[in-house]
Amino acid sequence: MNRLTSIQNLRDSLAQAKLDYIKLLNGGKVVFVCGDTGCLASHSQEVKEKLDELVKAEGLQDNIKIMYAGCFGLCSQGPFVKVYPEGTLYRLVKPSDATLIFEKDLKGFGIVESLVFKNPDSGAIYAKQEDIPFYQKQKAIAMADFAPIEPDNIDHYMGIGGYEALCHVLENKTGEDVISIALDSGLRGRGGGGYPTGVKWRYARMQQDPQKYLICNLDEGDPGAFMDRAIAERTPHIILEGMMIAAYGIGAIRGFIYVRAEYPTASLRLQQAIDLLRTKGLLGEKILGTEFSFDIEIRVGAGAFVCGEETALMASIEGKRGMPRSKPPFPAVKGLWGHPTIINNVETFANLPYIFRPGGLEAYKAIGTEKSKGTKVFSLAGKIKNVGLVEVPMGTTLRELIFDIGGGIEKGKKFKAIQTGGPSGGCLTEDDLDTPIDFDNLIARGSMMGSGGAIVMDEDNCMVDVAKFYLEFICDESCGKCSPCRIGTTRMKEILDKIAAGTAVMSDLDTLKELAIFIKDASLCGLGQTAPNPVLSTLTKFYDEYKAHIIDKTCPAKVCKDLIQYRINPDTCKKCGICAIHCPVNCISGVRGKEAYVIDQMACIKCGTCLSSCPFDVIRKV
Amino acid sequence: MEMITVKFDGQEYQVPRFVSILEAARSVGFDIPTLCHYKDLVETGACRVCLVEVKGMKALTTSCTTPVHEGMEINLHSPRVLRARRHSVELILSNHVNDCLHCTANGRCELQKAAEKCGIREIPFEGKMTTPSIDRLSPSIRRNSSKCILCGRCVEVCKKAQGIGILDFIHRGFETVIGPAENRSLTQVPCIYCGQCVNVCPTGALYVHEEVHRIQKAQVDGKHVLIQVAPAVRASLGEEFDLPIGTRVTGKMCTALKRLGFERVYDTNFTADLTVMEEGTELLTRLKKHLMGEKVALPQVTSCSPGWVNYAEYNYHELLDHLSTCKSPQMMMGALVKSYYAQKNGLKPEDIFMVSVMPCTAKKYEKTRPEMRHETYADVDAVITTRELGDYIKSCGIDFLSLPDGEFDMDLLGDYSGAGALFGVSGGVTEAALRTVYAITQGHEYGKVVFESVRGLKGIKETTIPLKNIIIDGKRSGINLDLKIAVVSSTKNAKILMDQVRAGTSPYHFIEIMGCPGGCINGGGQSFIKPGLLTFQEKLTMNDLLMKRAKAVYEEDASRPIRSAHLNPLIQNLYQEFLGYPNSELAHKLLHTHYHPRTPFPNIEE
Amino acid sequence: MKPISAYAKQRLSQIIDHYQTLTTPLMMILSDFQKEFGYVPLEVQEIISKRLDIPVAEIYGIVTFYSMFSLKPKGKYVIGICLGTACYVQAAQQVANRLEEILGIKPGETTSDGLFTIDILRCLGACALAPVMVINGKILPHVKVNDLQRIIDEYVRKEALVHESAH
């Protein structure tokens, strides 16, 4: 592994890597198999191993290369296999399909039509990634064009333009310049707050204390959000490059990546990348012969959502309980171990190489809206056809996101709401669909950007239940330090429990609202200050649903256990008895072949096993 | 001091520059209600009671954590602010057990004061309560987490002021509780019972086990009940009757105790003088051996602070022979009463009930030590704190403030010199010991009676006393010795010096260690000095309040006709008539003890 | 609680040594020990307390604050149910409830035979596979309520075979 000792060295490496990568994609057959956590769980490892086996058996290792790539974004269609030089993208590839791909495509006999994307309406085939509608409206900056590269391969990363920005900055820019560019770009924090990144950096740079720290927040606690995990697993180097640029700008000497405990693969890939950079001389003392010294350390979390809050995160690194503290003093002035510290989200760092490469600033400013520049990565999940990661320019409407990119609601159901901002956010409904996505618009419509989790809900989701779910999460994750959040959120949850059980009265809604407004106003940290948002948002937009639970004692969406019953249709029941066999409390009686089965409502525990096991779909929730 | 201009509720004020909104407001006569706030201990804004509205900030902010700046516009009592403060207290009350009228903290509770100040009239948010942790196993300190407001003061005082850290926040969210490791009882962890945590707890979550009812039972049982009072109590008891902090109330205290019907009212200062004799002699013995080249455990460390003794037994197993073998003055009194006094009055020790009034919570444990008990009786039967005495006096209908001055009984035990009186403050034992040790080794009294270098509340104090041509065993030895002495208070500072001893690098001959920061005047049983209970004026000078009690102790010393223990005629009498001479066999039997190493976290069955 | 093995003590010492150049390494030490041995009992906390000069109560407070640290050893098979939003809207709560019923334990608890522990997880980032269940690191996608009995039975059968073959 050759060590780089000057900027020229790096330049030469970059040029070579670009050539090598083009050669790779335009030579013999190169196969990328998605090795992201989601696809691995769907047996993509077996797909790759089978392909390896087939190639080896015929001694074709020199002509056909099989390697892992990172997330392709459209996770619900995984596992993915992409074949070059044609650039054919195969989806839903099972291990048993490996032989087909090998025999037909890899041996040069054309694409396997059954495995490429097909338009469900027109039947049109999209063999190339860029033709697929899912990708059309996206602009992948943080997701690096969804370009296929081996995650642990720095040459591949350089091949797609990686470390170009760092090189340019070290060669031509001062730290002050970096701050100016950040300010000019309009980049706002991608962790959820949307605070102007350049402004934060400038505070830190201004501090006299020479011992400055940079922290990358990979705690990604919002349930349903996995953008940061994917970025770290597929392109760890994009984060490291971003961190180096930021460190250069603010004058940081040490960097930390705080990785939540639930992401061991991300942690591993980042550590491998850091070790590699150290060996190459891109991290450490006097990098590439300049005065810039910087190194990065990984620190792990241990299962606490609140550690995504910057002061709690720092407390965790300091070996304490992750309990936030009051601000001021702000971390940029007094942070980790008392020194000026900048904390930025993974996605924020992932945007920096694009902005800081030659011509990047102007290109970046041309994307997005006036007050929200650039793009945002969303993890689109829930009741949507295309579940996965998408990156869209700010200004894209919610309608485009959900229907054009997301493919609309699965199973032919009706769209009800999209929840953004996780437990800190709110719901956007039919009326909000034409809102251009940006930080301020989403707040104006009663939600917020958040880290990027976007959960789509349909008519079968109960919004009271959704609010209760988020509150339960908050109660679990509240650190317990301040009384409004510690006690207040539990009191709010107790009221929601009553509503869901049909035992609440209308005045409970007044208490709920009073508590919600107080907790927002009086809590010590962002977790508490935003905890009431899902409740307030659903209370405003789905007031009738709350009323139904309280006054009519019904759950319109048929979710809240105490307000629904499972009923077997006596007319259509086929008397097979399967439901009775599966029922865990033996509350279904009937005679096989002779009498229709009936559920004893007093004993029924509403577990739903009967409904999911009935082969004839005669059981309903009423 | 640099001043800036801010606006409070639309009006301009000049306030100091580098302070919090809370302090700035206080400087111009605003007393924003607080609850968890405790200067230099907890300034985290956790309780959300001291909320204020600041122009430009979206949410409310806590005034104790937010610094002022030029031109800041703050609303201290807008309807939004008042409502939020109320809700903060209401929420805390909704998770708080509702037994104020029979709680030990009734009338001394900062939560009661906060509820009063915020005008609470209802608790609109009712629901479940955090699972309570109740620990009633210790004879000293007990816990009831259903009264805890999670301010964290106890955690900080035990960790930062004492350097021990028995308590911490455990679990998370609604089920957060403050407790020891494994939420064990305090009896199963290395808690030394110093009671600093009780001194800072705003409610009755941490409280002291009360023993006044034992006195009454003893009286009903027809026992001969007598009482002794420690030196630091008289510097604090007046505060229980709303006298200014540090008012010396010796006279009234004696009268009150006499009126309560005790057979004798003795002063622990007498046995403090006795301790000076015993411990001083012990020191001279060790010094003699040391000067003769024998291996001996030096420095000698005092042992009258039971909190410190507990700490040593947990943490310095191999250094226990450095501790003086002397019992504490309290236990010496108990031992003498149950032997000498009993004999002199024709009583059986089983029929005597010895009560001590102490500023200390560890002494409630000390009396239960097996070395302090006999098969059929204990040397001290009940220990009550300064606070308990105040309550007892009130419940017996005695109007303390109108009492004339009285005196201790001085028939057999109880007359005391100024030296004994000094035991109540850090540096007191040393000063008292020095007066006697100097006299014995130099053959004449030390010129000035006051050793300034060991006075005051600094955590670690040092002094060197040059002793020339030391008298040993009554004869001039020709040896000069610079007696090096250290005085520490708080176990945090004790650790520093004991680690030196452990490493073999300690330069001292004698170390005085008091378990509580500042000494007994700051014991766990003294009248409470808590921010929510102080007057507005007192709040402004909180850091100086303890010094006033120290001054009261120094006054007591200065007021005595005799200033040194060896010149106390009752002490001389005691040796002549009963003990023989200091460190005699009988003295050893009655007045000395031994120590045991203790396991910090013993195995407990699940 | 049973004392830890001499091997565990040795590994703990090595772990502490490994991180001695880090500033405030407590989280890393606890994480490594938890990962390797599955729990962090008081005995381990006392050892760390002495080495790092941190009060035992403080370490206990940290162990009980973070969900990933366990005071008791976990079961042989740790079953994690994701209750992240994406999984929740795909009825993951029902799956979690049913699992609790089948095994007779609550989340965080271990069955009395030491075989199974239930852990509630909050998003593994595999939202396309909702509802997601993980058993000892192996991800099971799209889990349904009536799959559970079968899955548990499989593991119980596996254990019985291991048990049999050992005799």
pLDDT tens per residue across span A179-221 = 999 999 999 999 988 999 999 999 999 999 999 999 999 999 9
pLDDT at C141: 86
Look over chain B and give the mean of its residue pLDDT values, rounded to a whole number. 95
Instruction: Tell whether the model's pLDDT for residue A331 goes beyond 60.
Output: yes
Rounded CA-CA distance A32/A21 in Å is 13
Q: Does A554 touch chain C (CB under 8 A)?
A: no
ipTM score: 0.93
- In the structure, what pLDDT confidence band is assigned to residue A253 with cuts at 50, 70 and 90? very high
Positions of B annotated as catalytic residues are: 279, 282, 304, 324, 363, 366, 371, 520
pTM for the model: 0.95
Kind of pairing, strands B460-467 and A125-126? Answer: unpaired
pLDDT at B448: 67
- In the structure, what pLDDT confidence band is assigned to residue C167 with cuts at 50, 70 and 90? low
What stretches of B247-372 adopt beta strand conformation (E)? 265-267, 300-301, 352-358
Instruction: Tell whether the model's pLDDT for residue B447 goes beyond 90.
Output: no
Question: Between B573 and C90, where is the model more confident?
Answer: B573
Contact: A42, C94; criterion CB under 8 Å: no
Instruction: Tell whether the model's pLDDT for residue A438 goes beyond 60.
Output: yes
- In the structure, what pLDDT confidence band is assigned to residue B154 with cuts at 50, 70 and 90? very high
DSSP structure string for B60-86? -EETTTPBP-TT-EEESS-HHHHHHHH
Contact: A518, B87; criterion CB under 8 Å: yes
Helix axes C6-18, C42-52, angle to 10 degrees: 40
CA distance C56 to chain B (A): 6
Instruction: Tell whether the model's pLDDT for residue A451 goes beyond 60.
Output: yes
DSSP secondary structure code for residue B241 in this structure? G
Instruction: Tell whether the model's pLDDT for residue A129 goes beyond 80.
Output: yes
Alpha-carbon torsion A578, A581, A587, A593, what sign? positive
Residues of chain B neighbouring A505 (CB-CB closer than 8 A): none
Residue A341 sits at φ, ψ, to 5 deg, of -140, 135
Residues of chain A neighbouring B173 (CB-CB closer than 8 A): 475-480, 486
Q: Does B87 touch chain A (CB under 8 A)?
A: yes
Rounded CA-CA distance B224/B261 in Å is 11
pLDDT at B502: 97
pLDDT at C108: 86
Q: Which of residues 151-190 of B touch A (CB under 8 A)?
A: 169, 171-176
Of B165, B171, B172, the CB nearest to C57: B165
Instruction: Tell whether the model's pLDDT for residue B312 goes beyond 90.
Output: yes
What stretches of A93-170 adopt beta strand conformation (E)? 117-118, 125-126
Residue B188 sits at φ, ψ, to 5 deg, of -110, 15
Contact: B172, A478; criterion CB under 8 Å: yes
Kind of pairing, strands A595-599 and A588-591? Answer: antiparallel
Rounded CA-CA distance B30/B536 in Å is 9
Instruction: Tell whether the model's pLDDT for residue C61 goes beyond 60.
Output: yes
Instruction: Tell whether the model's pLDDT for residue B256 goes beyond 80.
Output: yes
Look over chain A and give the mean of its residue pLDDT values, rounded to a whole number. 94
pLDDT at B449: 67
Q: Does C156 touch chain A (CB under 8 A)?
A: no
Q: Does A301 touch chain C (CB under 8 A)?
A: yes
Chain A: residue whose CA lies nearest to C149:
A582
Residues of chain A neighbouring B60 (CB-CB closer than 8 A): 521-522
Rounded CA-CA distance C13/C16 in Å is 5
pLDDT at C89: 75
Q: Are B153 and B129 in contact (CB under 8 A)?
A: no
- In the structure, what pLDDT confidence band is assigned to residue C128 with cuts at 50, 70 and 90? confident
Instruction: Tell whether the model's pLDDT for residue A549 goes beyond 80.
Output: yes
Q: Does B59 touch chain A (CB under 8 A)?
A: yes
Instruction: Tell whether the model's pLDDT for residue B606 goes beyond 60.
Output: no
pLDDT at A613: 87
CA distance B320 to chain C (A): 20
pLDDT at B46: 96
Q: Which amino acid is at B127?
A: G
Instruction: Tell whether the model's pLDDT for residue C12 goes beyond 60.
Output: yes
Q: Does C31 touch chain A (CB under 8 A)?
A: yes
The C-alpha R_g of chain A, in whole angstroms, comes to: 27
Cβ-Cβ contacts under 8 Å for C28 (sequence gap 6 or more):
A299, A300, C19, C22
pLDDT at B445: 84
Contact: A491, B94; criterion CB under 8 Å: yes
Mean pLDDT of B12-23: 96
Over residues C94-105, the pLDDT tens digits come to: 888 889 988 999
Structure tokens, A536: 């307030």
Alpha-carbon torsion B417, B419, B422, B423, what sign? negative
Residues of chain A neighbouring C66 (CB-CB closer than 8 A): 261, 301-304, 322
pLDDT at B302: 97
Rounded CA-CA distance A599/B381 in Å is 70
Percent of chain B with pLDDT over 70: 99
Of A224, A318, A466, the CB nearest to C84: A224
Q: Are B122 and B83 in contact (CB under 8 A)?
A: no
| B/C interface, count of CB pairs below 8 Å | 46
Q: Are B419 and B558 in contact (CB under 8 A)?
A: no
